Every structure is written in C-alpha cells, then in structure tokens.
A and B are shown apart, each in its own frame.
Chain A
Amino acid sequence: MDIQVRVWRQSGPTDKGRMVTYDVKDISPDASFLEMLDVLNEKLILDGDDPIAFDHDCREGICGACSMVIDGTAHGPEKATTTCQLHMRHFKQGDTIDVEPWRAAAFPVIKDLVVDRTAFDTIIQAGGYITAPTGAAPEAHATPVPKKDADLAFEAATCIGCGACVAACPNGSAMLFTAAKVAHLGLMPQGQPERDTRVIDMLQAQDDAGFGGCTNMGECSQVCPKGIPLTLIGRLNSDYRKAIRKQV
C-alpha cells in the first residue's frame, strides 16, 4: 500500500520543529507502524537525508519505549495497543497519517519523535519502590497475599510507563501513571510500611516535574496500551486523603 506521512521533524531541543510530508510506497499491510518508519528511514538514508529519530526497543508491546501520537491519538487508533504492535492494515491506501511526539512540558523533545521521559523516573524515585533487604528471593508462601489484591495489583503493575496518558491528557497530567504505581505497591503487604509517604512524595514529584492537574477527563485510560483503569485515580486520591489526615 502507498501512504503519506506527515512527521514532526526537530533537529534538536532548541530547534523550532515542523511537520514534514513524506511519501511511503509499497508498504506491506502486515508491517508494523515502526517497520513502516524503518522503510522510510532506509530511503531517507539512501537519499542522504537525516533519518527520523524515534524511540523503540522490544517491539513486543511490553517495554514502553515507542511513543508517537498518530493522527492525534497516542499509540494510534487501535485500543490497548502500543505503536510497535499497530499494523499498517488499520490504515487505508492513500491515507495521510500525522505523526507527532508526546507533547508535554515535562517531556521535552530531544529529536524528532524522541522525548525525554526522565520526569517519570523522578516520580518513581520519589517513592515507587519498597525498602527491602536484597539477597535471595524470599520464600513465596511467607507473605500471604489475598487473590483479589494480587489481581488488582497486577493489573496496575502492567503499566509500562510509556507516557501515553500524559500525551493524551488535555491537562498534560501524569495522574494515571502515578496512580498505577501507587496502587500496585499499595495493594501488596510488602508496600504497606511506605504507603503514606509514597503517595505524598510521588504526587509532589509529579507536580514539581511540571505535569498538569487531573480533572478526571478519562482520556488517559482510553489510550493506555495496557488499559490501566481510571478507577485507580480514585484509589490514589483516597490514599492521599488518608495519608494527609494521618500527618495532621
């Protein structure tokens, strides 16, 4: 199939950047979106142009590296799908597809479609961990976890930290990401000692990083490649309220 892509080109953090149109010919409908960009990049290199920079790693939908807003939707039109798992058969012959980087002050563009997601690491460093002695893995039955809690925690833990929630949020908020991390640790017995300080510190780190405030629009959950439920934000707010009350 033959398509056109309009891609955000920005040579570096200080460049102003612009959308540039490219023709892509003879793409297999079974190619992934990233493979389509690979083909385009090979052509650009042969022509002596600068290839389009984009993040990618596992290409299996589990690493959270790929990060593109495709036709205005983070990770493209397919639900619960990362860009690398999005296939060209979901587009039509002759389509013009707009490709842009995540847009957020906290995610500055490094080059073209690559953004700096250090802000997420800062949030994790503020409390997205448990303090436990290292060494051999503990005996699995030593700490019983109710099945219901384990399932909920696992659902939250499927967050791959790609940042699509921020890219989609009309407020540029990182609430779904932080909520997923707070829930996944807060539901487990191992996460209890730091439950209160975790939610307070992670929210503070999120606000300090320049993300917007949550107004419960629900865009984040719609684009999340892992389908992290919006209800986790309610859980985060509940944890936050209880933690603040204990502090007073």
Chain B
Amino acid sequence: MAVTGFLLVAFLYVHMIGNLKIFFGEETFDHYAHWLRSIGTPLLPEAWYLYIQRGVLTVAVIGHIVAAVILARRARLARPVKYAHRPKVQGSYAARTMRWGGVIVLLFVIYHILDLTTLTLNPHGVTGEVYRNVAEDFAPSRWYVTLFYTLSIVAVGFHLRHGLWSAVRTLGLQSPRGEIYARATALVLSVVLVVGYLSVPFAVLVGLVD
C-alpha cells in the first residue's frame, strides 16, 4: 500500500509540474508534450520511456488496489458481527473515506485517460494539439467536466492527506517525535497538489488560458 502509493504520488507531482507549463503558452506546452515522447532517446526508441512509465504506473495502481482489497476483506472477516450502536469513527474525514474515495479516484483516472490521453471523450481531440485539447475540455460551457474534475482532485487531496502520513508510518520511517511533522507535511503536500491541479481548469474558466 505504502510503496505503490509513494510511486503514484511521485508521478502525480511530476504530472502536476508538467501541467503548470500550460501557463507559459501554447507553444511551450505543446513542445513539452512532444518532449515527453522523446525522453530516453536515442538510448531508447521514440516513446518507449513513456510506455515503460505507463507500465510501471499500471502495476503500481493494480498493486495498490490489490492491497486495499486484501485489507478491506481482512477487516470484514475480523468483525463478522457488527455493532448495533456505532457512532461515526473519530478519525479524520480523510481516513474514513480512504476506500470509497479511492474508488472515485479510480473512476476519474479512467475518465481522464479516455479524455486527455486517448482523446476519445475530448471535444477537440487532435493528437499533438495538447493546449487546445485542454482549453476546449474545460470551456465554460462544459462546466460539468470542470466540476467532476474539481471533485476528483479534492478526493485525491483527501486520499493523500491520510495516505501520505499513513504510508510514512507503515514503513516505520518517522521517529515518534516526527509525528507532527509527518502530519503537517502530508497536509501541505496534499494542498499544494490540489491547488496545482485545479489551477489549470480554473485558469481556462476565467480565460487565463484560452
């Protein structure tokens, strides 16, 4: 859970930094997208790096889900008779929503790939015109896409707020005194990620990216 989670967070950060290049204009952003295909050349053939990364990420996602299913199954087996009276769990909202939040994030990732990787669901949908694809995708008339995107990114933020800190603890990396730092770091990293990702659709919405 922790190891695959860290891999996925690392990707999310790299992906976010790439997204922010949209603020440098159409040419820079499209050029960046093309560069992604040429990473590793000439050692690797064109786009190989991209497929290796996709492979690693897919394995990480599957591993993450398998671990989550095992934990959820064990939890169910560990308490066959439920409590008649059970108040809401006292832990944070983020901790409580890890499992269903994770499902929402997965559905979003599937939609996101169909939207902006395969371009199946994209209104512009021209390979290589990355800037235009994004700008048309989040156009004000398609407010429901922006809304779904926003909710999903916030769900990712909550998932990471508990997940990052929990992963540090699972791997036993933090000193007992580091508890408060680990919690604070997880919160800051989650907020930065949410703000970074949401800046793009909202920039489109207010016309900063057109």
Contact = CB atoms under 8 A, between A and B. Distances in A.
Interface residues of B, number: 33
Contacts of A29: none
Contacts, number: 103
A236 B176 CA distance: 11
B78 A216 contact: no
Contact of A215 (B79, B86, B98): B98
Contacts of B168: 234
Contacts of A73: 87
A12 to B, nearest CB: 15
B74 A213 contact: yes
B179 interface: yes
B173 A103 contact: no
A105 interface: yes
Contact of A170 (B70, B89, B162, B172): B89
Contacts of A105: 77-80
A72 interface: yes
Interface stretch (A31-39, A57-65, A238-246): A238-246
Contacts of A170: 75, 89
A218 B91 contact: yes
Given A105-B77, A210-B77, A216 B162 contact: yes
Contacts of A130: none
A212 B95 contact: no
Interface string A224-242: 0000011111111111111
A78 B95 CA distance: 23
B95 A71 contact: no
22 contacts: A6-B84, A71-B87, A72-B85, A100-B85, A105-B78, A171-B78, A172-B75, A212-B77, A212-B79, A213-B71, A215-B71, A215-B95, A216-B165, A216-B170, A217-B91, A231-B179, A234-B176, A235-B172, A237-B169, A237-B170, A238-B173, A240-B172
Q: What 8 pairs between A and B have smallest CB-CB spacing?
A: A238-B172, A172-B78, A237-B172, A212-B78, A98-B85, A171-B75, A216-B166, A231-B176
Interface of B: 70-71, 74-75, 77-87, 89-91, 95-96, 98, 162, 165-166, 168-174, 176, 179
